[in-house]
Chain A
Amino acid sequence: MYCLNDQQVEYILDDIRRNGIELEDLQLNLLDHICCIVEQGLKEEDDFERFYHETIKQFYTRDLREIEDETIYLLTFKNYYTMKKIMMASGALSVFAFITGSFFKIMHWPGTAAMLVLGITILSLIFLPLMAIIKIRERTTLRDKLVVMIGALVGVLYTMSTLFAIEHWAGRTVLWLSTVCVSMFVLIPVYFFTGIRKPETKANTIVTSILLVGATCLLFTMINLHPGK
């Protein structure tokens, strides 16, 4: 059996790193694996470098980096389900707090504010960001990811504006105006021009864009631009 020297081991490790393997654990696993194959198959008269490069080619179809990509995918896939569970639970809790808070409000019972604040906070700070992360992962193009990202931002701004308005907190007018501006001048154009390009989403995009413009305009009419009056 051939015995690799330290220089040859270093050569393999450097090549693994150069080919895009960044996870240290994976580097070491691959290094040991390749060393085992080389030591089993290399003869004294063979050329080490040539044998190594022929061996490493069998590890991938495109490039070595795909092993790391697959590892990261499998590791995040586990978190994907955890995130989805937290998203569902936070959504359910938020809806429960909303309904209870609204009922308390109608009945003029104490605890209304606490319930609504809890519902809106969970919705905007846990549910919406998690939903955005999950949806971004599912989208393949950068444009689609951007639409989801801006959509989630507008969602968070909208819910926070509502919270500020019902609690009469300072800065509510600025927050409402920011929500309307981001929605009208960023979200709707990006959404419209992304969806209109695809024949399968064209009709749906036009209808949804009209609805979004309408909703944003209605929101704008509710803003008190002169709070002092």
Chain B
Amino acid sequence: MIFSSELIKGTFRTIVLKLLSDNKKMYGYEITQKLKELTFDKIQITEGSLYPTLHALESEGLVTTETEFIGKRVRKYYSLSPAGKIKMKEKISEFADFMNTMQFLLDIKTKTA
């Protein structure tokens, strides 16, 4: 099952920040592939939402960039800035709180081993 884009929308920035935190530096295509791999294709992000988000994160100073020339094309690597690390922790904590509230609100029983 692939999660709907409505579900992913609100957490997309958090996902990107976390991926960049776990990997030293990543480029756009790599981010999409990594996400597919980690979620067993359940989360598939479109290029239409990835690049606008990456540009916004860059302009907000949450990620830093470096470029590498590959023949005639340029590859842009993104990595987390110190401000991005703080933001990522805030976002994850906020999301964890949100999940707890939703579990209670929707009466979702967590699986126990």
Question: Which residue numbers of A lie inside 8 Å of B, CB to CB?
Answer: 6, 9-10, 13, 23, 25-26, 28-33, 35-37, 58-61, 66-67, 70-71, 73-75, 77-78
* A-contact bits for B46-80, CB 8 A (1 contact / 0 none): 11110111111001100000000011111110000
Are B71 and A59 closer than 8 Å at their CB atoms?
A: no
B65 CB to closest chain A CB (Å) equals: 9
Cα–Cα distance between A91 and B72 once the two chains are bound (Å)? 51
B28 interfacial by beta-carbon distance below 8 Å: yes
Cβ contact within 8 Å between A74 and B52 = yes
The answer to whether B29 has its CB under 8 Å from any CB of chain A is yes
The CA of A32 and the CA of B47, in the complex, are separated in Å by 12
A74 near B56 with CB under 8 A, answer yes
Chain A contacts for B59, CB-based, 8 A: 75, 78
- The interface residues of chain B, by DSSP majority, are classed as helix
Q: Which residue from B49, B56, B73 sits with its C-beta under 8 Å from A31? A: B73
27 A-B residue pairings within 8 Å (CB atoms) = A6-B72, A9-B73, A25-B55, A26-B55, A28-B73, A29-B28, A29-B54, A29-B76, A32-B29, A33-B32, A33-B51, A35-B73, A36-B29, A59-B46, A59-B48, A67-B47, A70-B48, A70-B49, A71-B55, A73-B52, A74-B52, A74-B53, A74-B55, A74-B56, A77-B56, A78-B59, A78-B60
Q: Which of A33, A61, A71 contacts B52 (CB 8 A)?
A: A71
Q: How far is the CA of A6 from the CA of B69 in the complex (A)?
A: 13
- The answer to whether A33 touches B47 (Cβ under 8 A) is yes
Interface string of B18-57 (1 = CB under 8 A from A): 0000000001110010000000000000111101111110
Establish whether residues B28 and A33, one from each chain, have CB atoms under 8 Å apart when the complex forms. Answer: yes
Q: Which residue of B lies closest to A75 (CB)?
A: B59
Chain A residues, Cβ within 8 Å of B32: 33
